[in-house]
Amino acid sequence: MKILVVEDDEGTAEFVVAGLVARGHEPTVARDGREGYERARADRFDVVVLDRMLPKLDGLAVVALLRTDGVSTPVLFLTNLSGIDDRVDGLEAGGDDYLVKPFSFEELMARLTALARRPTLGAPRTVLDCGDLEMDLVARTVRRGGEAIDLQPREFRLLEFLMRAEGRVVTRKMLLEQVWEYNFDPKTNIVETHISRLRGKIDRGEASLIQTVRGAGYVLRVPGSSS
């Protein structure tokens, strides 16, 4: 198997890589969340071993961004956090399994083998929808209730990101990085301004699909939906 190991602890990374190589697998190591995200998005792996606590981007952000980008590679979280809430957070972010440190290599190998055997997902979606809002990624059109909505390129990209992450909270930092490609905070209200403008275009008196989560970010979902 071709396996990406995203782990900043040198000892843990060496332990995992040595075991994988000894069993004939092909591991690739990334030392921080940003590098892990970029490698997972640029190359095809059978499975990703992802540490929960990482520099630059934490594990939850990495897997959430990958799922938003349509990368369906199975992800196994390695974590020091054993609480139920922490496990649920990892799975809800888009992870497929988790293993609490310290762990035996045999258990890690068994879980990786099981994940790699899962059937792959179908072809990438070309039409995204949330309630009566529909985005055609090929035709580059957006409609709500069948009525066309004219969006500027940046607005389209922002809405696409929100729709791919439907039901999950996305932070201002994630939007700056993925929609504007900023690796820094410009200290402006650029995100808030575009969100407000986007709401004005897609709501038109209807219930707002883009909801603000105070202190966290934004989430796109049908009002009243628990997802």
- Residues 18 and 71 reside in one and the same domain: yes
Residue 153 and residue 61 share a domain: no
Closest CA to 143 of 163, 115, 123, 122: 163
Does pTM surpass 0.85?
Answer: no
Same domain flag for 132 and 98? no
According to DSSP, residue 112 is labeled H
Q: Mapping DSSP to helix (H, G, I), strand (E, B) and coil, where does residue 144 land? A: strand
- Confirm if 6 and 36 have CB atoms less than 8 A apart: yes
* pLDDT at residue 226 tops 80: no
Q: Are residues 40 and 91 in the same domain?
A: yes
pLDDT in tens, 163-188: 888 888 889 988 888 888 887 788 88
One domain for residues 155 and 210: yes
- The residue among 116, 146, 181 that closes a domain is 116
**Are 88 and 134 members of one domain?**
no
Tell me, yes or no, whether 96 lies in a domain: yes
DSSP, residue by residue, 47-100? EEEEESS-SSS-HHHHHHHHHHTT----EEEEES--SHHHHHHHHHTT--EEEE
Model pLDDT for residues 96-155, shown as the tens digit of each residue: 888 888 888 988 998 898 888 765 544 445 788 998 999 998 788 999 989 999 999 999
Inter-residue contact 93 to 63 (CB < 8 Å):
yes
122 falls within a domain: no
Give the residue numbers spanning the domain of 104: 2-116
In 3D, which of 159, 160, 138 has the Cα closest to residue 202? Answer: 159
Q: Look at the chain and report how many structural domains it folds into.
A: 2
In degrees rounded to 5, what are phi and psi of residue 207? -60, 135
The answer to the question of residue 226 being in a domain is no
Residue 98: what pLDDT?
A: 83
Same domain, 111 and 131: no
